[in-house]
Amino acid sequence: MAQKPTEPNRRDFMTIAAVSFAAVGGAASLWPFIDQMNPDASALSLATIEVDLSPIEEGQSITISWRGKPVFIRHRTGKEIEEAKGVKMADLPDPDARNGNLKDDAPATDINRVKDKNEKWLVLVGICTHLGCIPKGQRIGDAKGEYGGWFCPCHGSHYDTAGRIRKGPAPRNLDVPTFEFVSDTKIKIG
């Protein structure tokens, strides 16, 4: 003890080893406390759903609930499809298709917003990409915004007839969920 400690000695080693051990252990045991808040097994297992499209007339929309979220299904009119197709890509604030059925970098053309080139059926997650309100435009008499699609009243976002953001604070086009046609008039979402 009387001698001057020059090199890191055994006591330093013990201190460093003990402190690092405690730090790593502490950090590791923190994880369960954080991760417990993530969506649990019951939330993840929420099944897919099938929707019968046959009762939806041209020009009509329905809203169904999938994973606790509203999904918009619109049977588009010829005019709505033409309007959506006529939009120049340069006029789109968000150039990506946001279609769960396509690659991430697909451009937001109208054909990329539908499934299997089936232009009549537009299927969207009905949640405004700004802060999560449900846009208006599903019901007859609803404000549909300046582009004839949907209008989010919360902070004024306008979506067009392909569900693409055109004006307002929302950063992204409405998401198209992963889905498939089980038959001509039936889809399976999820």
- Dihedral (CA of 145, 89, 53, 179) sign: negative
CA 47 to each of CA 84, 99, 174, 186: distance values in angstroms, whole numbers, following the listed order: 32, 20, 22, 17
Nearer to other proteins, 40 or 180 (CB): 40
Report in angstroms how near the CB of residue 103 gets to ligand FES at its nearest: 27
- Residue 138 binds ligand FES (CB under 6 A): no
Closest CA to 115 of 176, 160, 47, 44: 176
Q: How many residues does the chain have?
A: 190
Compose the 38-77 pattern: x for residues touching other proteins by CB under 8 A, - for all others.
xxx--x--x----------------x-x-xxxx-------
Q: Which of 168, 174, 179, 189 binds ligand FES (CB under 6 A)?
A: 168
Q: Which of 120, 169, 188, 190 binds other proteins (CB under 8 A)?
A: 169
Q: Which of 92, 114, 152, 165 binds ligand FES (CB under 6 A)?
A: 152
Is 158 known to be catalytic?
no
- Residue 130 binds ligand FES (CB under 6 A): yes
Q: Which of 114, 128, 162, 165 binds ligand FES (CB under 6 A)?
A: 128
134 contact, one of other proteins, ligand FES, none, CB 5-8 Å limit per kind = other proteins
What's 160's DSSP letter?
A: E
Q: Do 161 and 147 meet the contact criterion of CB atoms below 8 Å apart?
A: yes
What secondary structure does DSSP assign to 50-110, as a single string? EEE-TT--TT-EEEEEETTEEEEEEE--HHHHHHHHT--GGG-S--B--BTTS-TT-B--S
Residue 123 pairs with which residues in a beta bridge?
A: 73
Which residues in this chain contact ligand FES in the complex, by CB under 6 A?
128, 130-133, 152, 154-157, 168-170
Which residues in this chain contact other proteins in the complex, by CB under 8 A?
34, 37-40, 43, 46, 63, 65, 67-70, 127, 130-134, 153-156, 168-171
Catalytic residues: 155
